[in-house]
Amino acid sequence: MIKDLFRKRYHTLPVSETEGKEPEVPAGLWRKCNKCGKAIYTEDVIRNHYICPKCHGYFRVHAYRRVESLADTGTFTEWDRELPFSNPLSFPGYEKKWKDVQARTSLNEAVVTGTAEIQGYKTVLGVMDARFFMGSMGHNVGEKITRAVERATKEHLPVILFTCSGGARMQEGIISLMQMTKTSAALKRHSDAGLLSVIVLTDPTTGGVTASFAMLGDIILAEPNALIGFAGPRVIEQTIRQKLPAGFQRAEFQVEHGFVDAIVKREDMKETLGRILALHQTGKKPISDVNGVSSEDSYADRQDNGGASAWDRVQISRMAERPTGLDYIQELFTDFMELHGDRCFKDDGAVVGGIARFHGLPVTVIAQQKGKNTRDNIVRNFGMPSPDGYRKALRLMKEAEKFGRPVICFVDTPGAFCGLEAEERGQGEAIARNLFELSGLGVPVLSIVIGEGGSGGALAMATANEVWMLENAIYSILSPEGFASILWKDAARAADAAGVMKITAADLLKLGVIEAVIREETPASLETLPVLCQDMDVRIRRFLQTYGSMSRKELADHRYERFRAF
């Protein structure tokens, strides 16, 4: 090694001859990320929404910092800042600890509540803070949240609550447990008044908070990777003596299992909440006020059969190039915000739904979604909904009813999913429940069959005031293959079956099963989509003008009579 051969014959200045202070890293300049363990520059973290710039892990945010990041400048007014100390069990040492935590955190309790404007929309806002007894809910937390929700009900305001809590506060025992019902009941009254509640689950949200107000929002959002669950993972592992899988109880797990509508990154949170508030503004114009149809707006009213046979149309309706539900949603609507989950078991990829705007009017849109390729189809299950898909659709329809939004469905399914899990979770019940509930829904419902309308699986999303079909769509009691196999014991005679089943749009129009056929000059494709949607756009406006002026009862009666006639 040449290093050992170098000779050092030069002299360096002694330290004493130099002036100035020694270098040192001031306290707090760097901090260690508790997720990746790397050193990070504190100012970077603050500028980056309290997200680690290296591993992108989320740090917990102090309640007042959170309020600052959400509320329009100067619009936040805090409510019930100080409540007297509550110690229902006279728990020894509690008061001293409570005061110590107060002094350390400059917080009065584990939640901050008040009113604020977010992107100009007034709302009630509650934010929990993990530094205060792990955000646990005792009397004061329950009381502050309940008062905030009650006041929101009284003042007709939406409620947004950011949860961050280990659960009930142990020091207050059974009185903490009572807060769960107290807060839930307040939200019930708020909801019954037709008002919006949005919950944002942040890391961690567990125990009695999860089992009460945290799961009761009309819309439930979560921050990425937040721990969300009832029993904590450690308790579960100790009880069942098994190692839990990676990702268990994280926000992404909860979306997959149907309990969270969407994961929202911190940098997008304010904008997302602003959009949700905008979509739920009360005092909006009546539905029938949607952009009127004028004499210039026209659509092809010919129902030209074009010579294609029923079997041709079956095959066209199944073509992989055919636009899917999401293609129509993107083309016809703006501001689409997808909401996930059935709040029971799963988020079904075969059904997509959410809120969007149609000519500015908030509407609920739901579509059966086929994949564009094999990988996509694994997520979409080839457009065959599971019970969870129908339950998600019903949940979104009920929300639409609560907020007076018309429902527009796109039907495109070979049929409801046929499988073990589907039966275990009640496929029949799920379809039946949709027919039952949809028949009485108090808002206009429109269904458009864009591809395959496979049996009960289609009907569960076509119990509408009007049903339309694209010219090359089909709608039937079951597939022609199934029909041939049952009646003639030969699935190969599907083409013959198609010929006699009356499954084309033209046939069904004659039978009165549908109200309109939307002409396809050439089989629908992404290229012809804009033209098809122009046609649909005019028709939908006309539909909304007609049905938008009906009362809830008139709409339900109309739907009742529509199906009563068969």
Partner 1 sequence: MFHKILIANRGEIAVRIIRACREMGIATVAVYSEADKDSLHAMLADEAICIGPAPSSDSYLNMESILSATVATKADAIHPGFGFLSENSKFVTLCQKCNITFIGPPADVMDRMGNKSEARNTMVAAGVPVVPGTKDPIHDVETGKRMAEEIGYPIMIKAASGGGGKGMRIARGPEEFEANFLNAQRESVSGFSDDTMYLERYVERPRHIEFQILADTHGNVVHLGERDCSIQRRHQKLIEESPCAVLSDSLRAEMGEAAVKAAKAAGYVNAGTIEFLLDSQNRYYFIEMNTRIQVEHGVTEMVTGLDLIKEQIRIAAGEPLSFSQEDVVIRGHAIECRINAEDPSRHFMPCPGTITNLHLPGGNGVRVDSAIYSGYQIPPYYDSMIGKLIVHDIDRPSAIRKMLSALGEVIVEGVNTNVDFQFAILENENFQSGHTDTGFIEENFDD
Applying CB under 8 A, the residues found at the interface with partner 1 are: 1-3, 6, 10-15, 17-18, 20-26, 29-30, 39-41
User: Residue 219, SS3?
Assistant: strand
DSSP codes, 157-196: --EEEEEEE-SB-GGGHHHHHHHHHHHHHHHHHHHHTT--
State in angstroms the smallest separation of the CB of 364 from partner 1: 33
Rounded Cα gap, residues 106 and 100, in angstroms: 10
Output 54 or 318, the one with its CB closest to partner 1. Answer: 54
State in angstroms the smallest separation of the CB of 7 from partner 1: 12
User: Residue 447, SS3?
Assistant: strand
* 410 and 364 Cβ atoms separated by less than 8 Å: no
Phi, psi torsion values for 101, nearest 5 degrees: -65, -40
**C-alpha dist (Å) from residue 137 to 175, 209, 341, 394:** 10, 7, 27, 32
Output 3 or 564, the one with its CB closest to partner 1. Answer: 3
Helices (H), 22-119: 42-47, 63-70, 94-105
CA angle, 389 then 394 then 399, to 5°: 130
Provide the token pair at 70: 């959400």
Task: List residues bridging with 195 in a β-sheet.
Answer: none
Output 17 or 296, the one with its CB closest to partner 1. Answer: 17
State in angstroms the smallest separation of the CB of 26 from partner 1: 6
Output 32 or 285, the one with its CB closest to partner 1. Answer: 32
DSSP assigned state of 52:
-
Provide the token pair at 392: 């998600």
Beta strands in 482-548 (DSSP E): 516-518
State in angstroms the smallest separation of the CB of 49 from partner 1: 18
Output 9 or 234, the one with its CB closest to partner 1. Answer: 9
C-beta neighbour count of 397 within 10 angstroms: 24
Provide the token pair at 7: 């000779």
State in angstroms the smallest separation of the CB of 348 from partner 1: 38
Q: 80: phi > 0 → left, psi -120 to 50 → alpha, else beta; which?
A: left
Rounded Cα gap, residues 519 and 543, in angstroms: 17
Residue of 299, 355, 353, 348 lying closest to 325 (CA atoms): 353
Provide the token pair at 66: 């959170």
State in angstroms the smallest separation of the CB of 17 from partner 1: 7
Output 11 or 564, the one with its CB closest to partner 1. Answer: 11
The amino acid at residue 450 is I
Output 30 or 50, the one with its CB closest to partner 1. Answer: 30
State in angstroms the smallest separation of the CB of 33 from partner 1: 11
Rounded Cα gap, residues 453 and 451, in angstroms: 6
State in angstroms the smallest separation of the CB of 265 from partner 1: 23
Residue tagged 């921050």 (tokens): 223
User: Residue 339, SS3?
Assistant: coil
CB hemisphere CA count around 73 (13 angstroms): 0
CA angle, 346 then 351 then 353, to 5°: 100
Output 23 or 74, the one with its CB closest to partner 1. Answer: 23
Output 24 or 301, the one with its CB closest to partner 1. Answer: 24
State in angstroms the smallest separation of the CB of 36 from partner 1: 13
DSSP assigned state of 59:
P
Output 46 or 418, the one with its CB closest to partner 1. Answer: 46
State in angstroms the smallest separation of the CB of 59 from partner 1: 17
Task: List residues bridging with 377 in a β-sheet.
Answer: none
State in angstroms the smallest separation of the CB of 201 from partner 1: 33
State in angstroms the smallest separation of the CB of 369 from partner 1: 30
Residue of 191, 227, 224, 194 lying closest to 209 (CA atoms): 227
Output 6 or 566, the one with its CB closest to partner 1. Answer: 6
Output 19 or 561, the one with its CB closest to partner 1. Answer: 19
Output 27 or 565, the one with its CB closest to partner 1. Answer: 27
Output 20 or 307, the one with its CB closest to partner 1. Answer: 20
Rounded Cα gap, residues 37 and 220, in angstroms: 31
State in angstroms the smallest separation of the CB of 342 from partner 1: 42
Residues near 126 by beta carbon (within 8 Å), at least 6 away in sequence: 111, 112, 113, 114, 144, 145, 148, 159, 160, 161, 162
Secondary structure element (H or E) that encloses residue 467, with its range: strand 466-470
The amino acid at residue 171 is Q
